[in-house]
Amino acid sequence: MKNIGKEKALQMLEQMIRVRRFEEGCLKSYQQKFITGFCHTYIGQEAVAVGAMAHLTPTDAYITSYRCHAQGLIGGLTSREVMAEMFGKITGCVRGKGGSMHVFSKKNNYLGGHGIVGGQIPIGLGAAFALKYEEKEGVALTFFGDGASMQGTFHESLNLASLWDVPVIFICENNQYGMGTANDRALANPQVSDFAAAYKMKGYEVDGMNLESSYKAFGEIIADCKKNSRPALVNVTTYRYQGHSVSDAGLYRTKDEVKCWKEKDPINSFYKSMEEQGWIDEEGYKALDKEMKAEVKDALEFAKESPWPPMDELTNHVYA
């Protein structure tokens, strides 16, 4: 905790709570049919993106799958911009054209949320390649799921990254399932970091339920990647509390299993550690939580009141 410091700790706690309350807002709005289509929440996985992205500079880039709301919020998009996108409004971060799975932000170098499992992995590689080509000191964090790590694009990207010394960090958010398939039924080796050795890069195992360890690990990994311009592969152990998407009842896992993971809740455990340091007390936590709830409420109202995309938006942006 000492290495993190009070200010950074508070900021990261706020980010985790923001993401969670935001996702809860999404779930509620989905039930109320304000949000439609697919909707995949990040609840339970907050410490992964928060811990990793805490080390980014404005030069760095990042990219992920359809489970993409958190990275948008952590990277600097407002709750209003992301929520309005969920609602399909013109005020959304991509003008209502992407919805829940396609949060992007050019100004923050967020290369977005992608709907094809594994499809974003070579793009993240390409972003890092561009940084190196232009001699900028930067990395690209490339997030994907455990299910995606069995796609050809994953292996092709690891090979290219290592071959060409590309400063990309492959982050497998190993939340134990690809939809309803437990990863030991899909991955010959669920310890995904093992693939690093095969491609001659560094591999890491990180506890993604604990922000302190995630923050520390990613600090070292990112620094090393920048210093040596070498890729890395990180397998982060984590868990999603909700179904795969809002339409998933989660019948493939037991209530006990979910309960067990929730006991390691990243927000709660980080709050406890902060409390031990005397950086926050219950009152402070409640105030912060209230603030985040109010922010999400405001975002929901903003999204509701925002106009739909005008008809000319339909044919706008087909070609640059």
Partner 1 sequence: MPITEFRQALNQALEEEMIRDEKVYIMGEEVAEYNGAYKVTKGLLDKFGEKRVRDTPITEAGFTGLGIGSAMMGLRPVVEYMSWNFSLVAIDQIISNAAKMYYMTGGQFSVPIVMRGASGAAAQVSCQHSHNLESFYAHIPGLIVMAPSTPYDAKGLLKAAIRNDNPVIFLENEMLYGDMGEVPEEEYLIEIGKGDIKREGTDVTICAHLRQVGFALEAAEILAKEGISAEVVDPRTIKPLDIDLIADSVRKTKRLVVAEEGHKFCGFGSEVSALIHEMCFDDLDHPVIRVSQGENPLPYAKNIEAASLPDVQDIVAAAKKSLYK
Ligand X SMILES: Cc1ncc(C[n+]2csc(CCOP(=O)(O)OP(=O)(O)O)c2C)c(N)n1
List residues binding ligand X (CB under 6 A).
Answer: 65, 67, 115-117, 145-148, 173, 175, 177-179, 244
Type of residue numbered 231: P
Q: Which is nearer to ligand X, 75 or 138 (CB)?
A: 75
Indicate which single residue of 63, 86, 233, 267 sits in contact with partner 1 (rule: CB under 8 A).
Answer: 63
- What distance in Å separates the CA atoms of residue 66 and residue 101, rounded to the nearest whole number? 4
Window of 4-12, 82-90, 146-154, 264-272 that interacts with Mg ion by CB under 5 A:
146-154
Backbone angles phi, psi at 234, to 5 degrees: -120, 125
CB 9 within 8 A of CB 274: yes
Token pair in block for residue 191: 């310890």
**114 binding partner 1? (CB under 8 A):** yes
Locate 109 and state its tokens: 């170098």
- Identity of the residue, 4 or 101, whose beta carbon is nearer to ligand X in the bound complex: 101
| Residue 152 interface partner, choices ligand X, partner 1, Mg ion, none, CB cut-off 5-8 Å depending on type | partner 1
The entry of partner 1, ligand X, Mg ion, none near residue 98 (CB within 5 to 8 angstroms by kind) is partner 1
CB of residue 225 to partner 1, shortest distance in Å: 16
- By a kind-dependent CB cut-off of 5 to 8 A, residue 63 interacts, out of Mg ion, partner 1, ligand X, none, with partner 1
If phi over 0 gives left and psi between -120 and 50 gives alpha, with beta otherwise, what is residue 41?
A: beta
Window 175 to 214, contacts with Mg ion (CB under 5 A): 175, 178
Report the alpha-carbon distance of residue 309 to residue 97 in Å, rounded.
9
- Contact flag: residue 71 with partner 1 (CB under 8 A): no
User: Residue 25 to residues 31, 52, 61, 79: CA-CA distances in angstroms?
Assistant: 10, 24, 27, 11
Contacts of 82 (CB under 8 A, 6+ apart): 22, 69, 72, 73, 92, 93, 103, 299
Alpha helices in the chain (DSSP H): 6-31, 46-53, 69-75, 79-86, 121-133, 152-163, 194-198, 211-228, 255-262, 266-277, 282-305
Smallest distance, ligand X to C-beta of residue 177, A? 6
160 interface partner picked from ligand X, partner 1, Mg ion, none, CB below 5 to 8 A per type: partner 1
Binding status of residue 105 toward partner 1 by CB under 8 A: yes
Positive or negative torsion for Cα 29, 31, 35, 39: positive
Which tokens go with 104? 């992007």
Cα-Cα end-to-end distance for the chain: 47
**Contact pattern for partner 1 over residues 119 through 158, marking x by CB under 8 A:** xxxxxxxxxxxxx-xx-----x-----------xx--xx-
- CB of residue 179 vs Mg ion: minimum separation in angstroms? 8
Rounded to the nearest whole angstrom, what is the least distance from the CB of residue 318 to partner 1 in the complex?
5
How many Cα neighbours within 13 Å face the side chain of 170?
38
80 vs 244, beta carbon nearer ligand X: 244
Of the candidate residues 112, 208, 243, 266, the single one contacting partner 1 (CB under 8 A) = 112
The contact mask relative to partner 1 for 3-42 (x = CB under 8 A, - = no) is: ----------------------------------------
Residues that bind Mg ion (CB under 5 A): 145-146, 175, 178
Site residues for partner 1 per CB under 8 A: 61, 63, 92-98, 102, 104-106, 109, 111-112, 114-116, 119-131, 133-134, 140, 152-153, 156-157, 159-160, 163-164, 316-320
